[in-house]
A = this chain, B = another copy of it.
């Protein structure tokens, strides 16, 4: 199907394969009048760039974004914003062998099952490179949210057994460490763990987490378009994510109601909650507390150990994957999570504007 679009009013459509001429995104429904330049977007794209340290792939991806439409004299016009990133370092030679077999943990077999064949170069459309379009669009959404007082901050919560200590939360560390952890000590331990796993020709999973501040109460819908339902879809649509949690997440299943309920109270003259087990969402609608979303990311499936698999002829074989691969996906996926959450929230906020008769009357009276 037309599965490359996300959102209803603020709608993005990504396109492009790992090794095609280019990849990109079309943002449709962006409000008019937002100051926007390529550097706004480049900042976000640079956060998912590889090659910054030992623990990420030494592949070079320039990822230089070009705005092709939708911006005039420095402002968005309300018409589609087309963003393109040329693929500069296509080395298809690396991928010739994997055309013939199905890599464990990858989408090779499922793509062939669905489409009859696949663009096998670098994972084609299932490559993590597809997320460059999401990040570019997320940069726009995040800029708008910031103007509305909302901040979206994702980070690495854990890598393998090494967890960030949230009591030592250091926001600057997210952008400065190679793990994107908000705890420099955990970062060091994580890097050491990763180096050990790299030597063992293995890869590592981890947890990424995102906090949202400033979101007003009342955003989201009661039934299928619950804010948490759309966030879950947004996050689970990032390759390698196998679990999504909101607030206390998996812990709620072992809790009692007396522990899990958040008491309402009054803060600075406004209704607020004493605790935030709910992660900022009740009945699918934001409650004015911070959002808290967590995602569990599987270890990179490309490992350099020998693995059993089958070839296209259906014969069992043993393979050893070559090439350059991140030993862990999380640090570069953190900005993708941030992007998807920003897009989801902005769309919900735009939809929310017509929820009440008095809002419609106020809006159209002014005109």
Contacts and interface: CB of A to CB of B under 8 A. Distances in A.
Contacts of A10: 2
A308 B252 contact: no
B109 A264 contact: yes
Interface size class of A (residues with CB under 8 A): 35 or more
Interface in A218-247: 218-226, 228-237, 239, 242-247
Contacts of A155: none
A254 B233 CA distance: 22
Contacts of A323: none
A289 to B, nearest CB: 11
Interface in A9-60: 9-11, 13-17, 20-24, 26, 28-29, 31-34
Contact of A288 (B113, B203, B285): B113
A157 to B, nearest CB: 9
A222 B126 contact: yes
Given A236-B228, A283-B106, A260 B11 contact: no
Given A126-B222, A205-B252, A4 B260 contact: no
A68 to B, nearest CB: 5
A182 interface: no
Contact of A82 (B15, B104, B314): B15
13 contacts: A1-B8, A5-B5, A15-B79, A21-B67, A22-B82, A31-B354, A31-B359, A78-B355, A114-B217, A116-B356, A130-B223, A243-B253, A350-B353
A100 to B, nearest CB: 13
Interface stretch (A169-177, A184-192, A299-307): A299-307
Contact of A279 (B84, B242, B287, B352): B242
Contact of A78 (B20, B80, B115, B121): B115
B33 A115 contact: yes
Given A24-B68, A105-B262, A111-B283, A80 B236 contact: no
Contacts of A282: 105-107, 109-110
Contacts of A270: 314
Interface string A349-365: 11111111111110110
A265 interface: yes
Given A68-B16, A111-B285, A236 B243 contact: no
A228 to B, nearest CB: 5
